[in-house]
Structures are given as structure tokens and as C-alpha cells.
Structure 1
Amino acid sequence: MTSQQQNAPRSPARVKRGRVSPMATVAAITAAALVGVGVLAVQANGSAPNKAPSAVAAKQQPPVSTNQVGQPVSPAPDPALALPASSGTGKRMVYSLSKARIWLVGADEKVQMSAAVVPSTVIPAAGTYAVSKRIANNQSADRVAVQYEVLWGPKGDTTKFAMEAVSSLPGDQMPMKPEAKTGGVRLTQNDALAVWQFAVLQTPVVVVA
């Protein structure tokens, strides 16, 4: 190749083919950036929870009742769970036959616990008795193994009745109604344990209709 050929300028056609339009380059870069942003948005959307935790937690909270000025109002107590009237004074255990429920009342007249019971097949008369004996494990009159047995009864038979739990049941399961003759008033094991801890010897047992 001669020196004239080396120094000769390119033809206009060749220069035109070798250049890239600056506008085209900017457009291509902008398009690529938009595609990348779209991919990141899709990935972020796929990994994010559908709902914010605070919104879910707020939705799960129960509604709170309020009065006319917007102050929270406690729900009214269930009358069926109220301590029966004319059920004695001082520390005592109250047993309602009609409600099939007991109340443990402290010396300050405050109810420490209330629990449903399964009544015995032998029904005690209304009146005031006293705890006469406590047996950790025993066999009831209907030959069922029981525990946390707190016995009470009339003067002629101070162990005729009892608060007790069926030994074979889980702690929070109510026992079935006894079929055979028994003075055992039955509770869950958890409730019977509370009675056992509360009702020491000579604790009054007040039976109401």
C-alpha cells in the first residue's frame, strides 16, 4: 500500500456506516435501565408479605366496646356465674345445686375461683356442712379411682359427700356423669386441685338450691 493510500481520507459512505447515533445510544441505555427496574420490582413484590404484620395483627384483635364518649367498657358479668345470695359469710365453699357450680370465697368475701361441677347421684340437702377429711387418692363409692378428694357431709355421716376428680382424665377434661350411686361431686383435675388447696379441715361447705 502506498503512502498516498494510507493518508487518503475515508469516503463519506464509509464514515456514515461507522458512526452510531448518540440518540440511539441514550435510548438503548434508558430501555435497559427500565427493564432492570422492572425486574427488581417483580422480585421485591414476590418476596414481600401480602399484608404488613401490623395490619394483620390489628385485624386479629377483637373489637373493644366503648361508651358514648369513646371510653372502653368492660363486658357485663354473666349472672349465672355470680355468687348466690344468702350463701354465708367468711371463708367458705359454696355449692349451687341448680347451677351445678361451686365458688371458693375468701375471708375478705372475694371469690377466688368458680368452676362447673358434675353433680353426684346422691343429692345433698341445702345447708351448711364442713370439710371433715381430705384424701389424695381413693376409690369412690361407684368404684371409680379419684384424687384430690375433699369430704364433707351431715353430722351423722361427715364423709357422705366429696369434691373430687377422676384420676384417669386429663387435667382440664370434665368427667362424665356417674351412673352408679355416689356422693362424689366431680370436677376437672385442675379445679379439684384448687379446691384441695383451698378447703382445709373445717372449711364451711354451703349448699344452696
Structure 2
Amino acid sequence: MPVPARLPSWAWVTGLTVGAIAAVTVLAVQADQGPHPAATSAKPSSSAPAGARPTPTASASTKVPDGSGTGRRVVYSLDDKRVWLVDASEATRRTFTVWPGTVSPDPGTYTVSSRMGATTGSDGVQIEHIMYFAAKDGVSVAFSNAVDGASPPPADSGARTGGVRMKKADGTALWAFGMVGTTVAVVK
């Protein structure tokens, strides 16, 4: 009985490598033929996902305030009670209204100094996405949103609070945008 010839190990490795490359190529072609995300110019609703990016607008109420600096930054207008997330190309990625606490920072440039995932606010509300950026008269000032998504009650208790609250979706977007060291420009 004749002894069958053995293939050298390099032949087996080469064959398996060619087969794997062919399989990956077939899968890549199939993936390329599937659906692709399309850019949209629609402005997201308040329930839009955190990564949604509105189209920049030029209306007076949503235009980034003059004198708020340049580059990637968070802009907070005390008078408009509004925040803008501005990217490095000066495009507004999101803008939204906020409910400030009873203590507001002075106009100026700050940086996000620390972040906390969740805690109880000084008003007893469960909050998340806390981003500290300033202090005034012994009160820390931070952006946050209520965990349950509720708007804060009117500040009539006489308590000194530095929380700048926002809707839950806006808080999620700000949390994704503002890392420690991110510039926060506070304007009138």
C-alpha cells in the first residue's frame, strides 16, 4: 500500500490565509452594499439622541454671542439663559435653554474643572452629568440635569444654589461634549 504524500506546513498556512482573505473580502463587499447613514439638515427635537447635531442658524436667539471667544468651547449666556456647544470650526453643534441657580458666575472664561456622574443636588433633586466650571462666594457653579428629566422648581427657598439645570437630552449632549479642561465662556 502506497504512503500518501504529506503537504508541507507552509502550504497549509498559505491555503488558510488565502481562504481567510477571500472570506473577509466577501463580507466587506456585502457590508458596502448595505444601508449607509445620510447627513440631514433637520434640527433635532428635544428627544433627539445626544449625538444629534442641529444645523447652525443665524437667528438672534440662537447665534453664538459676540465676544465669547474662539475655538471649541461651551458658551453660557446669563441674560439669555442659553448654552451653545461650539466646535473647533466655530460651528454650533447644539444650543438650548437652561434654568440657572440663584448664584451665577461672573462673565469670563473658565474651564471644566471636574465632572461627576450623579448625586443629589443642594435642592434635594437627583441630578446627573454634573460639570463644575466656576465658583462664586463659596458656591460651586456646575451644569447638570435632573435624572427624571423634570425642570427645576422656581428658586424661592432662599437657598444659594449654583446649579445650571437643563433638559435631560441637553445634559447628555453637554456631558459628551465637555471633558475636564473644556473652555466655558460666560457672557452677559
TM-score bin, normalised by smaller chain: 0.5 to 0.7
SS in 2 for 1:194: helix
Q: Which structure features the higher share of helix residues?
A: 1
The AA in structure 2 aligned to 1:160 is S
Q: Does 2:143 align with 1:163? A: yes
Match of 2:184 in 1: 205
Deviation of 1:139 after TM superposition, in Å, equals 1.6
Q: Aligned pair in 2 of structure 1 residues 120, 127: CA closer, same or farther (>3 Å)?
A: same
Deviation of 1:174 after TM superposition, in Å, equals 3.6
Q: Aligned pair in 2 of structure 1 residues 108, 131: CA closer, same or farther (>3 Å)?
A: same
Match of 2:67 in 1: 86
- How far apart, in 2, do the equivalents of 1:125 and 1:185 lie? 14
Q: Is the 8 A contact 1:118 1:177 kept in 2?
A: no
- How far apart, in 2, do the equivalents of 1:199 and 1:87 lie? 16
TM score, norm. by length of structure 1: 0.58
- How far apart, in 1, do the equivalents of 2:63 and 2:146 lie? 27
Deviation of 1:115 after TM superposition, in Å, equals 0.4
- How far apart, in 2, do the equivalents of 1:124 and 1:142 lie? 19
Equivalent position to 1:176, from 153, 156, 162: 153
SS in 1 for 2:103: coil
Q: Which structure features the higher share of strand residues?
A: 2
SS in 2 for 1:160: strand
Structure 2 unmatched ranges of 5 or more: 1-56
TM score, norm. by length of structure 2: 0.64
Aligned ranges 1:54-93 → 2 under 5 Å = 77-93=58-74
Q: Is the 8 A contact 1:142 1:181 kept in 2?
A: no
Deviation of 1:154 after TM superposition, in Å, equals 4.7
* Cα deviation 1:96-142 (Å, max 9, x = unaligned): 00000000000111110000000111111001111011111112222
* Cα deviation 1:181-204 (Å, max 9, x = unaligned): 210000001100000000001101
Q: Does 2:79 align with 1:102? A: no
Q: Is the 8 A contact 1:118 1:187 kept in 2?
A: yes
SS in 2 for 1:164: strand
Match of 2:48 in 1: none
Match of 1:189 in 2: 168
Match of 1:125 in 2: 106
* Cα deviation 1:67-120 (Å, max 9, x = unaligned): xxxxxxxxx843121110010111100000000000000011111000000011
Q: Aligned pair in 2 of structure 1 residues 192, 102: CA closer, same or farther (>3 Å)?
A: same
Q: Does 2:121 align with 1:114? A: no
SS in 1 for 2:170: helix
Q: Does 2:120 align with 1:143? A: no
Identity %: 35
Aligned ranges 1:30-69 → 2 under 5 Å = none
